Structures are given as C-alpha cells and as structure tokens.
Chains A and B, each alone.
Chain A
C-alpha cells in the first residue's frame, strides 16, 4: 500500500466515525450531559488548549518515566532469570504471584509510601507495565535456534558474548512487542495514579470534570488520551525500525 494510503485510510475511518457520532447525537437528540457531540468536545478543547496541553504533558511524562523503568528493569530481570536457572526458580513464581495482585488495589498504599507527588504515579505505571516486558523479553532470549547455540559453543563463545551477540539480538523483536504492550499499560497506570491522588494530569481532569458533570471536558481528556496512546506506540514503531535495521534494509549502511 502507498504511504499516503497507510495514513489517509485510517484517518478516513476516524472522520467517518466522528461524523456518524455527530449525526446520531443530533438526530436522536441525546442530552449533551450523557454524550456530547464531537463538535462540543472540540469546542471544549479550543477554550483552553494550553491548559489541556499542560495536563497532557504531565501525564505523558509520568507514562514515559514508568515505561522507561519497566523497559530497563524488565529486560534486566529477564536476563537474570534466563541466564541463571536458580534465580528463575527462586524469583519467577514470586514475580507471577505479585503480578496477580491488582495494581489498582495497591495504588493507595503508594500514596502512603511516596506522598502525593509524581513518584507514586510513576511507580504504579511501572508496576502495571513491567510484567509484559519481562514475559516477552524472556521468551525472546529463549528463542535462539538450537543449532545457533551449538555453533556458538563449538566456537568457544563466552557466555557474555553469546548473550550480547546472539541472545539479545534474537530477543529484540519480542522485546519490542512487549514494549508496545508496556507503553499502553504505563499510560493506564499513570491515569490510575492520577485518579487516586493528583492535582494535575489527564486523570485528574477526568475526575474533577466528572464531579462537575462536565461531560464534554471528560470526553476532551479521553480524546487526548486516545491520541496520546497512538502517538506513543507510533514512536516505538519508529524506534523499532532503527533498532532492527536488518529487518528493513539490505545492508547496514543503505538508506532503507
């Protein structure tokens, strides 16, 4: 498909969806407090664009901080459990058990521990996101074909060289799959954190607007969150293309 088609067709889908929404709300006479039309949401956004932007930036920073922690620590943890079977036996069941605790239930505890600043929100975003990274990264590190490992052994490759020259490269596509899931989950975590206690961010906007039955404002924040999710995942797609050049190019030096 052409480049234009890849961007224009999804955009067409979104426009049709919004149009149908607008028309339906008007024809059926839905009360704006229940479901405002897209035009009202747009109007809401245009009344205080800078203020909305500020809240969006705050939520984005929380998300990215939680995501970065999940990425770094998640990959590091997966390396530990894949390389040392004993560590896996000791730590992995515990990790799975801890993960099955609903993170939302732990959020208030984080407020007690970390206060009401950014830290507890980053911690929740991290906790929700890290599991996906660990699972996919460990899967990837284990996906090296048996004969490749045999070859490495026959060539007397050290454990470290096998890890950084073979296993990590093999794992990269899996790691990126995990990172994309982790990014969406970190965004969820950031919003949950802001729900629990905050004076800023899109989660805070939703919560306060809901208290005032300002449905248009709730939808405005949700719309921003939707765009934010698409942009963050899209950014990861771009990073992936650069991190895995051998999947998209003929030669290391060539254009594409």
Chain B
C-alpha cells in the first residue's frame, strides 16, 4: 500500500487563502494552516458560510487556492487526487442505477474492472445493514439508508483520504445518531484519514480525534483541539463528563465569537 511514515502529515495546508471574484472579492478562507496526519479523524466545525466546504473542495481538487500551499502526500493538489473518497450533504446517488451500481461508481468512473470490486461493494453494504437492498433503486430508500449507500460508495476503493461535507446534515436527529455510531464503527475499524465538516458540536466531539474550529467570514482557524477521548466510542459517551467538558468548551468559544447568545 505504500503507507507514508506516520509522522509525515498526509495533508499540509500552509497559509491557504481562497478568494472568490478577484482581488476585491470575497475572502472565503484566510491563511489556513493545518496539518493532518495519517489515521486522524478531523472535524471541521464552524457556522454556515465560514468556508468549510470551500476548504474541502480545495482538498478535493475542485477549487484552486488563491494563495498559499496545499499538499497531499507532499505533492501540491492540482486536480482531484487519487485515493480520495467523498460524501456530500445531498447524497448525490444516481437515481437510475440500483444501490450496488451506485456503490460501484468509483470503480466504473476510475476505469477499473467493475466486476472485480463487486465483492467489496457487497461487503460494505453488509457492514451498514443494506445487503438486502443491493438491487433496489435509491428512490425506494429512506434518507438515512441513502446516506449509508453514499458512505459505502465513498469507501469502495479504500480511500487514503475521506472527505465528508455535512453528510448527515439533512437527516432527522435519531437517524443522525445512528449514522454517527455507524461511521465511528467503520472508522475505528479501518482508520482512514477523514475530514468531516459539520456545524454540530456534539457530532464533531463524538466522531473525531481532533476538532478544528473555523471562525466566521473570512474563515480562519480559531481553535485546534486534539481530543483526549477513548478510541472506541458508543453514543453513551455523550453523557460522560469529559465529553460534556469538550462540548461546553466549544459552545463557549462560539459564544465569544458572537455566534450563540445565551
């Protein structure tokens, strides 16, 4: 697999600035400096419009930074890098393909032999309890099930880097809890490097090994906290004192930024 040295960061962002609409335009990201190491689960936490999605899109090679440096495995990101898994808030499933075909899309679009990846796709579906839905159209699934399919799709090619942009943002609270637990289980199992955008403090603290807080426009790194929480977590963790201490800390930070009024 050619895994990089664990001390070598897989992502390096140095003074990354992104402006839309030329010199006088809107600054979405202002000198973001951030390293991410192999196997980390980093939550990007911040209010709407603070540039979280833009940062993720730069990492996915879908946007070019205006200034600064952005490296993946030591190389500048020019286009979408190899070994990337992506999931969005809207699951972006293709309605006209069945569940299995949707999960296999990265193989198909990557020009790989789709049949070779079918066992892996079925295994992923089994992992999220959707083994009986392989040949069903997405329209027949609930929102939570669709998002599970999208996660399977993002994991098909064993990505070295998983980018998730508010994947559970459109789900009801109970489904969201379930998917948080599912995603944590999957991550604890394979430890793929993950950047997870959210504006839920609870979700960020529950899922991640590190929380990076973005300040509102222009997006800057306001806080960068490595969490000292158990590696294997259950939803019950959210009632533990150490979890609540972190959650309270981030809420206090949001208050000082003027985003929450008590």
Contacts and interface: CB of A to CB of B under 8 A. Distances in A.
Interface of A: 145, 147-148, 150-158, 161, 165-166, 169, 172, 244-247, 249-253
Contact of B137 (A145, A153, A161, A252): A252
Interface of B: 57, 60-62, 80, 82, 84, 86, 88, 90, 92, 94-96, 98, 105-106, 108-111, 135-137, 139-140
A151 B86 contact: yes
27 contacts: A145-B90, A147-B88, A147-B92, A150-B57, A150-B60, A151-B88, A151-B92, A152-B109, A153-B80, A154-B60, A154-B84, A155-B80, A155-B106, A155-B110, A158-B111, A161-B108, A161-B109, A165-B94, A169-B96, A172-B96, A246-B137, A247-B95, A247-B139, A249-B137, A250-B140, A251-B136, A251-B137
Tell me the interface secondary structure of chain B in the complex. loop
Contacts of A246: 95-96, 137, 139
Contacts, number: 69
A198 B81 CA distance: 64
A169 B98 CA distance: 13
Given A150-B62, A151-B88, A166-B94, A157 B109 contact: yes
A6 B62 CA distance: 49
A155 B95 contact: no
Given A147-B88, A152-B109, A154-B61, A250 B136 contact: yes
A49 B61 CA distance: 68
Contacts of B110: 155-156
B118 to A, nearest CB: 15
**Of B57, B90, B109, B140, which is in contact with the most chain A CB atoms at under 10 Å from its CB?**
B109
Given A154-B61, A252-B98, A147 B135 contact: no
B162 to A, nearest CB: 12
A253 to B, nearest CB: 6
B135 A154 contact: no
Nearest to B165: A147
Across chains A and B, which 8 residue pairs bring their CB atoms closest together, nearest first?
Answer: A157-B109, A155-B109, A169-B96, A154-B80, A250-B140, A246-B137, A251-B136, A246-B96
B94 A147 contact: no
A248 to B, nearest CB: 10
Given A153-B80, A158-B111, 4 more contacts: A156-B109, A246-B96, A249-B137, A250-B136
A251 to B, nearest CB: 5
A243 to B, nearest CB: 10
A247 B57 CA distance: 32
Contacts of B61: 154
A154 B86 contact: yes
A144 to B, nearest CB: 10
Given A154-B61, A155-B106, A147 B90 contact: yes
A130 to B, nearest CB: 26
B126 to A, nearest CB: 18
Most buried by B among A151, A246, A251: A151
A159 to B, nearest CB: 11
B94 A251 contact: no
A169 B94 contact: yes
Nearest to A244: B96
A62 B33 CA distance: 68
Contacts of B60: 150, 154
Contacts of B140: 250-251
Given A155-B106, A165-B108, A148 B135 contact: no
A106 B21 CA distance: 48
